[in-house]
């Protein structure tokens, strides 16, 4: 059953369609209605329908403007336009916005039903194609030639010189050209242990040849639900197929599977960093939404920093892995960009030292138990190597230098708390055995980890405070939006939305609405301004939409609210 949102400014039209169409028989569940474009866009953000049926002529935001907003934020949603204007200009706009279907007014119930069934068939076919286990298995056998895969993996697992990159790119016909690159990692948000534990032979499909409970009877039975098969290899490969299709559509680069994850290598000729960053984040979000919609499970994507030569690919790959690790803090089923959560420089760390990088990553996003395990592993390696006392002291000193970098970057409080002790290299000579050294390092790391966590929480609060201060100063601007706020803060909208909701327990849209409505209440109680003047003062260019929003928020029209305030 597909979820559908019905949008029309005429109440009798909405009620008539709800009454006359047997929605469930067409394979749909009407999860909500809206009477104007702005209300519909908010409903889409909240309800996430599969299909939106909307009138073309509506107040505040017309059907095409609504469609444009949906396409920008939710590219996988199907859109059906109801219109009485069969004009060339409209047709051009509809084609540009990739409108799926439109119905010309006046229309009969059967005409709309025919269009609904056509869209449902299209969605069934798309989903069947995404979930067809047999097709995926065949594609899996014939895709990713071994030599090409090994070479691509070598780009970010070791340093490859420019000559080798150029030579192998030519041999394997890989478009590894551009003035800037990004590496991103897409990880399943489901247990991946089966990926490494599976036997080499192909699994039997017989237990899974059954119809998915989430699909309709019209879908072929061989189009299995990947979520139900439990085969993580096919789930990962299905994500790869979706990513490859979307990346190819946007001509962004190419994708591959590496270490049970999908890796995206973005290439761009532009000398400016921002275009490739913006394009990559948009593509990753489209991939995330497509996986959630078609495959019925979720993925998290970590986006690394921009580099200008693939010789720096190991750094970019580790930056993407570090971003992915932040899902422990920010949550899964999202796109996390390393530039949003950390201020990183290529020269900041020596990324050839994988143990150093792993320890630092553990300090930033790991748990106390993971930290103890990490140090046990690091010191166990020392004991097994039977190194000299001098080499042992150098090894511990290198660990302390890495910790000093982390303390410095974590802020003054952390640097002050552990900096002096970290700088006491003389202490290294006093250790009588490795266990004593390990416990001392563990205490330092634990204190440093606590300071990092506290500073991160403080940073979140400061970020939200800066955002609310900016909104307080600009709420009367009718163009104020989350995009404007994020531009002021120099962060991405996805990262900001997550932090803002976590700290305030409400979305940014609801916060802005509440602020404007409470300000409007103050003006209604304390001034004799007319409604349109108050609307302008609180950021509404359309007084009718202000009155509509105010009544929806307060339960009274502005006039009724003022009258009651005067009576009280």
pTM beyond 0.85, yes or no: no
Q: Is 172 exposed, middle or buried (0-12, 13-18, 19+ CB in 10 A)?
A: middle
Backbone dihedral region of 230: left (phi > 0), alpha (psi from -120 to 50 degrees) or beta? left
Domain 2-128 has CATH 3.40.50.2300: yes
Joined together, the tokens standing for residue 176 give: 């590894």
At residue 4, the 3 state secondary structure works out as strand
Query: Taking Cα atoms as reference points, which of 100, 96, 13 lies closest to residue 49?
Result: 100
Q: How far apart are CA 362 and CA 478, in angstroms?
A: 44
Produce one character per residue of 66-86: b if its CB has 16 or more CB atoms within 10 Å, e if not.
bbbbbbeebebbbbbbbbeee
Calculate the alpha carbon distances from 29 to 23, 99, 321, 353, 460 in Å. Answer: 6, 21, 39, 55, 39
The CATH number assigned to the domain with range 475-567 reads 1.10.10.60
Q: How far apart are CA 266 and CA 128, in angstroms?
A: 29
Joined together, the tokens standing for residue 443 give: 């205490």
The CATH number assigned to the domain with range 132-352 reads 3.30.70.270
Q: How far apart are CA 73 and CA 45, in angstroms?
A: 9
Place of tokens 């059907």: 63
Calculate the alpha carbon distances from 519 to 481, 506, 531 in Å. Answer: 17, 18, 13
pLDDT (0 to 100) of residue 352: 41
Q: Is pLDDT of 222 > 60?
A: no
Q: Is pLDDT of 351 > 60?
A: no
Q: What is the dihedral of CA 448, 451, 455, 456, to 10 degrees?
A: 60
Length of the chain: 568
Q: Across residues 311-334, what is the average pLDDT?
A: 85
Q: How far apart are CA 126 and CA 137, in angstroms?
A: 17
Joined together, the tokens standing for residue 259 give: 């270490």
Q: Is pLDDT of 103 > 50?
A: yes
418 pLDDT tier (thresholds 50, 70, 90):
low
CA 516 to chain centre: 28
Q: Across residues 174-184, what is the average pLDDT?
A: 85
| Mean pLDDT value across the chain | 80
Place of tokens 């340093």: 159
28 pLDDT tier (thresholds 50, 70, 90):
very high
Q: How far apart are CA 300 and CA 15, in angstroms?
A: 40
Calculate the alpha carbon distances from 131 to 33, 124, 137, 237, 253 in Å. Answer: 30, 10, 11, 11, 25
Domains 132-352 and 475-567 share a fold: no
Percent of the chain with pLDDT over 90: 31
Q: How far apart are CA 354 and CA 402, in angstroms?
A: 12
Q: Is pLDDT of 80 > 70?
A: yes
Residue 12's CB: how many other CB atoms inside 10 A? 8
Q: Is 412 exposed, middle or buried (0-12, 13-18, 19+ CB in 10 A)?
A: exposed
Domain residue extents for the chain = 2-128, 132-352, 359-458, 475-567
379 pLDDT tier (thresholds 50, 70, 90):
confident
Contact 362, 339 (CB under 8 A): no
CA 422 to chain centre: 37
Backbone dihedral region of 333: left (phi > 0), alpha (psi from -120 to 50 degrees) or beta? left
Q: How far apart are CA 115 and CA 102, in angstroms?
A: 8
Produce one character per residue of 317-333: b if its CB has 16 or more CB atoms within 10 Å, e if not.
bbbbbbbbbbbebbeee
pLDDT (0 to 100) of residue 132: 74
């Amino acid at each position: 059953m597909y979820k559908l949102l019905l949008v029309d400014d005429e109440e009798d039209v909405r009620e008539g369609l709800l009454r006359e169409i047997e929605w469930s028989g067409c394979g749909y569940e009407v999860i909500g209605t809206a009477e104007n474009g702005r209300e519909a866009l908010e409903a889409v953000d909240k309800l996430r329908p599969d299909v939106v049926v909307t009138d073309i002529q509506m107040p505040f935001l017309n059907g095409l403007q609504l469609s444009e907003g949906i396409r920008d934020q939710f590219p996988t949603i199907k859109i059906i336009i109801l219109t009485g204007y069969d004009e060339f200009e409209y047709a051009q706009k509809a084609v540009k916005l990739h409108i799926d279907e439109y119905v010309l007014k006046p229309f009969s119930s059967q005409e709309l039903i025919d269009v609904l069934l056509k869209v449902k068939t299209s969605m069934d076919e798309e989903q069947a194609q995404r979930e067809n286990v047999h097709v995926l298995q065949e594609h899996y056998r014939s895709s990713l030639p071994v030599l090409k895969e090994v070479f691509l993996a070598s780009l970010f697992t070791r340093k490859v010189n420019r000559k080798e990159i150029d030579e192998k790119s030519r041999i394997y016909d890989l478009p590894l050209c551009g003035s800037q690159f990004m590496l991103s990692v897409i990880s399943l948000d489901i247990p991946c242990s089966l990926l490494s534990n599976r036997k080499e032979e192909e699994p039997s499909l017989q237990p899974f040849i059954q119809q998915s409970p989430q699909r309709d009877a019209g879908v072929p039975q061989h189009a299995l639900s990947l979520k139900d098969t439990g085969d993580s290899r096919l789930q990962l490969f299905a994500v790869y197929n979706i990513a490859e299709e979307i990346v190819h559509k946007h001509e962004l680069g190419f994708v591959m599977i590496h270490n049970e994850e999908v890796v995206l290598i973005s290439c761009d000729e532009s000398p400016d960093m921002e275009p490739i960053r913006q394009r990559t984040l948009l593509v990753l979000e489209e991939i995330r939404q497509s996986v959630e919609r078609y495959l019925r499970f979720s993925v998290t994507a970590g986006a690394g920093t921009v580099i200008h030569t693939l010789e720096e690919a190991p750094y970019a790959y580790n930056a993407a892995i570090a971003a992915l690790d932040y899902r422990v803090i920010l949550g899964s089923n999202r796109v996390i960009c390393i530039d949003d959560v950390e201020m990183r420089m290529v020269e900041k760390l020596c990324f050839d030292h994988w143990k150093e990088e792993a320890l630092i990553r553990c300090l930033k996003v790991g748990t106390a138990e993971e930290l103890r395990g990490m140090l046990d592993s690091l010191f166990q390696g020392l004991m097994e190597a039977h190194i000299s006392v001098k080499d042992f002291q150098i090894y511990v000193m290198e660990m302390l230098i890495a910790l000093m970098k982390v303390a410095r970057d974590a802020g003054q409080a952390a640097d002050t708390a552990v900096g002096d002790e970290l700088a006491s290299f003389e202490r290294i000579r006093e250790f009588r055995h490795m266990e004593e050294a390990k416990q001392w390092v563990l205490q330092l790391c634990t204190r440093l980890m606590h300071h990092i966590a506290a500073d991160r929480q403080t940073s979140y609060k400061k970020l939200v405070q800066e955002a609310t201060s900016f909104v307080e100063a600009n709420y009367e601007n009718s163009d104020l939006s989350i995009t404007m706020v994020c531009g002021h803060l120099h962060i991405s909208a996805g990262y900001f939305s997550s932090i803002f909701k976590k700290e305030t327990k409400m979305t940014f849209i609801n916060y802005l609405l509440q602020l404007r409505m409470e300000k409007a209440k103050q003006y209604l109680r304390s001034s004799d301004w007319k409604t349109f003047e108050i609307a302008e003062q609180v950021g509404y260019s359309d007084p009718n939409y202000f009155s509509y929003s105010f009544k929806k928020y307060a339960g009274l029209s502005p006039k009724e609210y003022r009258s009651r305030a005067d009576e009280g």
